[in-house]
Copies of this chain bind each other. A is one copy, B any other.
Amino acid sequence: MAAGSYMRQVHICEVGPRDGLQNAHHRIPTEAKKAWIQAIAAAGVAEIEVGSFVPPGLIPAMADTAEIVASALRIGNLKVVALAPNVKGFERATAAGAHKITFPVSASRAHSLANVRMEPEKMVEEVRKCVRLRGTKGPEIEAGVSTAFGCTMQGAVPEDDVVRLAVMLAEAGVDCVALADTVGYANPAQIRRVFRRVRGEIGSKLEAAHLHDTRGLGLANALAAFEEGVRHFDSSMGGLGGCPFAPGASGNVITEDLVFMFESMGVPTGIGIEKLMEARAHMVAALPGEPVYGHMALAGLPKGFRAAA
């Protein structure tokens, strides 16, 4: 855990360098990606998902992840996270030195097959293998339950399936479970219901909410999750990455707006909004022509605004 995080009430993991860039239209040069990640960390973001260890060649934007992890590790006071879709990815992420490795485990069978070419149950076994491989000294392991609130292929995803999968993952020995609204289908009532049910089953192993803003409900869903006790959120600077099915719609919930919401509510994030804007400028300069989103960046802070103490 990074220094300074003791004074955070809410902990934000910036996933733009992974989830954002993976879906972006433009490529960012490796050196610019490193500088952007440094700028994000300099704003006080204590955790960054910097890339994914997918099969080389599958997602060209992620081909430099090992180098990016190495660079991020030199920053200090930063939890460096990488995504892995299988044992092989886990081994590469571990070798690279990532502090935390996150696995996408889809609650939707169709999405699971399309995303990792495995049934959800098979994917749980893959995660279990990694837990065993890690032993006692390896990286933290997170499982993100993808499509936990709906799926563009399957449509509705039964809440029972989400709860069952979260329980299986907790029993497989992961350190923490996140629930992900991968395609922006969630609504606040559903967020409250599903987080409450999963917490009832796996307690404090339920950690993060990974939300998308595809239909504009990202911050409302984050508020609902916060009020259900969630204190860890994934978000992406500039809502980077958009949604391949929704031209003009942002992707992940937007870091700048999420930080603004919490800070304006008096909930400390440990993140400085002005420095966050500098990191945003880095990203915009490094990705010319890429659509970026964010209300706060356009409208500016309210007159007399004070961040949370």
Contacts and interface: CB of A to CB of B under 8 A. Distances in A.
Interface of A: 150-156, 183-185, 187-190, 213-217, 219-220, 222-224, 243, 245-250, 254, 257, 260-261, 264-267, 294-296, 298-300, 302-304
A261 B190 CA distance: 11
Contacts of A261: 187-188, 216-217, 220
Contact of A303 (B155, B219, B224, B250): B155
Contacts of A153: 303
B217 A248 contact: no
A248 B214 contact: no
A267 B299 CA distance: 31
B296 A216 contact: yes
Rank and list the top 9 A-B pairs by shortest CB-CB distance, nearest first.
A216-B295, A155-B304, A246-B299, A187-B264, A189-B265, A155-B303, A216-B257, A219-B220, A248-B298
Given A216-B257, A219-B220, A245 B188 contact: no
A156 B151 CA distance: 42
Nearest to A224: B223
A187 B184 CA distance: 22
Q: Could you say which of A188, A247, A249 has the most chain B C-beta atoms within 10 Å of its C-beta?
A: A188
B189 A266 contact: yes
A52 to B, nearest CB: 24
A299 B183 CA distance: 10
B215 A257 contact: yes
Contacts of A267: 189
18 contacts: A152-B303, A183-B302, A185-B302, A187-B265, A188-B223, A214-B295, A215-B296, A216-B254, A216-B296, A217-B295, A220-B261, A223-B223, A223-B224, A245-B300, A246-B299, A246-B300, A247-B298, A248-B298
Contacts of A155: 302-304
A215 B260 contact: yes
Nearest to A302: B185
A218 B16 CA distance: 24
Nearest to A248: B298
A156 B257 contact: no
Nearest to A300: B246
A254 B220 CA distance: 14
A261 B184 CA distance: 12
A40 B23 CA distance: 36
A307 to B, nearest CB: 12
Contacts of A266: 189
B215 A302 contact: yes
Given A155-B304, A265-B188, A302-B155, A249 B216 contact: no
